[in-house]
Structure 1
């Protein structure tokens, strides 16, 4: 006796589906929901600081801030500058829960990182999302950094460790503050969890945007002081200095 009726009609072939680009809504022949033209027009990060990825006028340079005060993290890897349309996609993912935009950006970031791994970037032992404050997590309903880290981990076959860090103090929104205020705002805001395993590990912090680097610096310092061998930062976009044009 058959549990299902026999079906002799045509079956759905997923390879023939009408994939639409999320940016222009034109048909896309790619598996990802973005056409080649829109992908090429994204604000790809050009020459930048070899440490913090700050946009610079020439390749192979290190910015003055990183030379003067080397950060606790080793290197920032980011594919784009924080400008249109990436800034809009991140905002809609982060503040309007438009997860398809976040997933698309994570897929493209994963391809970018795999290319970097094939060239010169060391693969980390684990991806560590930047923790979100409890109040903001309840309001938003999700941590965008954790979602990005999970998508990246699945795509790159790298473990995602969400158990290492916690945010122990509620802080003001970072985007409303200047660099000095951001550093003060984050003082004692983070802590390692009680069972955190850090010593000797190469860890990569994951976040959506790097602005002044204050959050990344605070977390990287915490991890390095706990014995991490190296801390990198992976993010979707890097902002230029104020007045440099975003």
Structure 2
């Protein structure tokens, strides 16, 4: 009977479930998407605060950054490109689950201690944007800015298509992206603050954000931070 079906299934319809373990969330759970138990899978690990790579203990700069510092000052991330963060990145980008950007941005924003007054994003080439229907980095910038109470603005455009970065070495990635980006406005130096954050979903070698940093430094930006969901080291070999 209908009354029996409603009695059996109504609690399941109205009780929120953890998106990861599928168990009922408790009223005490702090995140709208995950239960507190699964939320521990996203807990931060020790990293170099400059490049974002994992270290045995948290340090301001690792040995590599001391000898050859990147053009940015601080990198904030949720974790490496492993379970469960990699799963959500893949679902967001390739399964059209763009709404996951809000939940990932909430996690990212909780890591940022000193927000930049302006957040911008890595641009997509127009053909890829049309194919995907959205720019995941721009969505992350929108939601992260909302969480942090700062401004977000699209500062860059991609002026040429490039081959996939996957499988390329660091030097090949840099060459592949050479002259691939430009600032959207020529008079950007008159309106841009001295502290800017660039957001991307995944940072591996840093080749993409390196190119964007150079554009900002050229117009007088003094401090650049990188925000990302995953900071993954370059594959060995």
TM-score range, shorter chain: 0.7 to 0.9
Query: Could you tell me how far 1:67 is from its partner in structure 2?
Result: 2.6
1:237 equivalenced with 2:230 (yes/no)? yes
Task: Name which of 156, 179, 184 aligns with 1:188.
Answer: 179
- 2:9 is matched with which residue? none
Query: Could you tell me how far 1:62 is from its partner in structure 2?
Result: 2.7
- 1:81 is matched with which residue? 80
> Displaced runs of 4+ in structure 1, greater than 6 A?
none
Q: 1:105 to 1:196 in 2, by over 3 A?
A: farther
- 1:38 is matched with which residue? 38
**C-alpha distance in 2, partners of 1:109/1:190?**
25
Task: Name which of 15, 18, 42 aligns with 2:15.
Answer: 18
Query: Could you tell me how far 1:94 is from its partner in structure 2?
Result: 1.0
Structure 1 gap segments, 5+ residues each? 1-15
Map 1:1-246 to 2 at 5 A: 17-29=14-26, 30=29, 31-42=31-42, 44-60=43-59, 62-113=61-112, 116=113, 121=114, 123-162=115-154, 164-198=155-189, 200-243=193-236
Q: Confirm or deny: 8 A CA contact 1:45 1:55 kept in the other structure.
A: no
Query: Could you tell me how far 1:17 is from its partner in structure 2?
Result: 4.4
Deviates more, 1:62-71 or 1:169-178: 62-71
Q: Confirm or deny: 8 A CA contact 1:133 1:167 kept in the other structure.
A: yes
C-alpha RMSD over aligned residues = 2.0
Q: Secondary structure at the match of 1:174?
A: coil
Q: Secondary structure at the match of 1:128?
A: strand
**C-alpha distance in 2, partners of 1:144/1:103?**
10
Q: Confirm or deny: 8 A CA contact 1:200 1:227 kept in the other structure.
A: no
Q: Secondary structure at the match of 2:111?
A: helix
Q: 1:166 to 1:127 in 2, by over 3 A?
A: same
**C-alpha distance in 2, partners of 1:95/1:65?**
34
**C-alpha distance in 2, partners of 1:76/1:196?**
27
TM-score by length of 1: 0.82
**C-alpha distance in 2, partners of 1:93/1:183?**
26
Q: Confirm or deny: 8 A CA contact 1:73 1:221 kept in the other structure.
A: no
Q: 1:196 to 1:105 in 2, by over 3 A?
A: farther
Q: Confirm or deny: 8 A CA contact 1:45 1:81 kept in the other structure.
A: no
**C-alpha distance in 2, partners of 1:146/1:188?**
21
Query: Could you tell me how far 1:234 is from its partner in structure 2?
Result: 0.5
Query: Could you tell me how far 1:242 is from its partner in structure 2?
Result: 2.5
